[in-house]
Amino acid sequence: MLTIAKVRRRFPRPRIDDVRVAVAEQMEAMRERIRPGESIAITVGSRGIANLATIAHTMVEQLKGWGAAPFIIPAMGSHGGGTAEGQLEVLAQDLKQVREEWQARQQEFQTQQEALQGQWRELGLKVAELKGELAYLDDDAQREVLAMKRAIHYVLDNLKEPVPCPGDLRPGLEAMIELNIKTDAYQEGLGTVGGLIALLDSMGKGMDSFQESVGGLIGEQRMHSEFLPRLQVRLPDSVIAFHNQWDGLRARMHDDARLCAHPTEFLEAARPVIERDLSDEAINNMFNRLGQALTEATKKWRG
């Protein structure tokens, strides 16, 4: 009868602290074969080598320093069916992706620049206003007038309920109260939007990390497919239920124009979702159960 034993193999994982120095040292062995003015091709692959750009750059600089004329050619790989035409198509797709990313970054930069210009204008107006008030501070009477104006502005800006006043002032005062209430609601709505965006962004990064972990394990399984069974992650029902809420949230938030015009409606729609479905406890439980599911999936073949 065959004797079967469980073994664990650890592959060596040497680490190079300074890639440039290591490449330069390895190239010293070929220095005597290099002649000034020689054209030397450096073949560069597409994947599987860490710090590939640094290695290629160091080789080019080293050969130039010895007087040679290096140039880089792509090493044929499996991309695009292993043909020149196929690789050109892959390259065209990569260039398209780079162009789209560049356009998105350019648009983002333009938006940020416009926002900064708007802030600069606001600060300029504020400085001009403060300079105008500075003249009041040199005179006692004018200083009292300025203090009175600021006190009135503060009271009016924070007025939320009607107060006794002459009849001819009542319509304007009521309009100001209504504006103050809407402004506070709008600011609270903006704060909720910002919090929700930050929350969803952090969750997206967490899901990206989980996806990378799964991808790494799949790569390990493929590398040792003779010995490791196929990775199968069974998601708990609670995790599936958590992520089934996005369609409902999208349906409640789809009319962004109305929500912007009526921020109280946004608060009424978003607050229960944030407090109940997207609470810190709910999110932590979801990620913990995802991690447990991944651990359980690899328990049989990670020892």
pLDDT of the residue at 259: 66
Of 58-67, 175-184, 205-214, highest mean pLDDT: 58-67
pLDDT of the residue at 71: 86
Per-residue pLDDT band at 248 (split at 50, 70, 90): confident
Q: Buried b / exposed e across 207-217, counting CB within 10 Å, b at 16+?
A: eeebeeeeeeb
Phi-psi map region of 7: left, alpha, beta (phi>0 left; psi -120 to 50 alpha) = beta
pLDDT above 70 (res 300): no
pLDDT of the residue at 63: 92
pLDDT of the residue at 22: 92
Tell me the average pLDDT of the chain: 79
Phi-psi map region of 164: left, alpha, beta (phi>0 left; psi -120 to 50 alpha) = beta
Q: In sequence order, which residues have a C-beta less than 8 Å from that of residue 64 and are 6 or more positions away?
A: 70
DSSP label at 73? Answer: E
Helix, strand, coil percentages for the chain (3-state, nearest 5): 75, 5, 25
Per-residue pLDDT band at 81 (split at 50, 70, 90): low
| Residue ranges in the chain assigned as alpha helix (H) | 19-27, 52-65, 84-134, 140-157, 170-223, 237-243, 246-252, 256-261, 263-272, 280-302
Per-residue pLDDT band at 148 (split at 50, 70, 90): confident
- Terminal alpha carbon distance of the chain: 25
Per-residue pLDDT band at 59 (split at 50, 70, 90): very high
Q: What is the mean pLDDT of residues 109-124?
A: 86
pLDDT above 60 (res 78): no
Per-residue pLDDT band at 159 (split at 50, 70, 90): confident
Report residue 129 as tokens.
Answer: 């206003």
Alpha-carbon gap, residue 23 to 54, rounded angstroms:
9
Alpha-carbon gap, residue 56 to 72, rounded angstroms:
8
Q: What is the mean pLDDT of residues 248-258?
A: 72
Report residue 140 as tokens.
Answer: 């006692």
On whether the CB atoms of residues 160 and 177 are closer than 8 A, the answer is: yes
Question: pLDDT of 263-279, one tens digit each?
Answer: 667 777 777 777 788 88
